[in-house]
Amino acid sequence: MKIFYIALLTLIAAAIGTITGFGTSTLMIPVLVIFSPPVEAIFLVAIIHWFGNIWKVALFRSGFNLRLLALFGVVGLATSYLGAFVSLGANEQVLLRFLGAFLSSYALFLIFQSKFKIPAGNLTALSGGALSGFFAGMFGIGGAIRSMSLIAFDLPKAVYIATAGAIGLLVDSTRIITYFTGGATLSKELWYGLLLFIPISFAGAQIAKKIVDKIPQNQFRIVIAVFLFAIGAKLILSP
């Protein structure tokens, strides 16, 4: 039953995470810590998340933008270390509540100012990547922060999802190696469970693609903003 519940959770989280570009970990980790130790839960989600990002890039490869990935992602990886350094010793709950308030306010602004757009030029992409990396390092929630920055460009749906997936893939590769070399592992049951969870995550991504294809481009950013608001509200109430 444990494997069944995790598989069902994986399907739901993969679908939502593919549509929005974030949220898989936010959905899965609070549930998985009920069944498994926190380190094991985080390691398992990191692996599922890594494959989820591969599915995003593969299914939305028509929108893959190498220039935006390089400008946005590489500088973001660098500034994330600076953000992590600044956050050391800070009160985590205060930081997360501050992030929640910021995300909620930003999401409401986008909902009511739906025509707001920042041109995705080189300078703005570098600035967005630097800020998203810094705040992701500071708050530890990379997906929502990346999406907050990417959504300001009002990118085509495929470009948004493929870029978010490619950046996430870089970040996940780094942290999985770090977890594994640091001694993190899974129980034998969960290692075998991955044989089910990985294809299930692909099924979730395929469901998401069908949903995304039906969302009008002019409404897509509103959908992302609603999810950002939900994440922000969650952080304010329960960081």
Q: Where are the domains of the chain?
A: 2-237
Report which of 76, 68, 67, 2 is spatially closest to residue 36, judged by C-alpha positions. Answer: 2
Supply the pLDDT for residue 171: 78
Phi, psi of 152 (to 5 degrees): -65, -25
Please report the pLDDT score of residue 94 as a whole number: 78
Type of residue numbered 119: P
In this structure, what DSSP letter does residue 152 have? T
**How much is the pLDDT for 103?**
85
Tokens 């500071």: give the residue.
138
Q: Which helix (H) or strand (E) holds 56?
A: helix 38-59
Q: What was the pLDDT predicted at 200?
A: 96
pLDDT along the chain (239 residues), means of 10: 90 92 82 84 90 93 79 78 69 77 86 75 78 71 76 83 86 82 89 95 95 89 88 82
Nearest to 224 by CA among 214, 236, 207, 212: 212
In angstroms, rounded to a whole number, what is the distance separating the alpha carbons of residues 186 and 38?
A: 11
pTM over 0.85: no
Residue that is written with structure tokens 């049951």 in the block:
189
Contacts of 104 (CB under 8 A, 6+ apart): 228, 229, 232, 233, 236
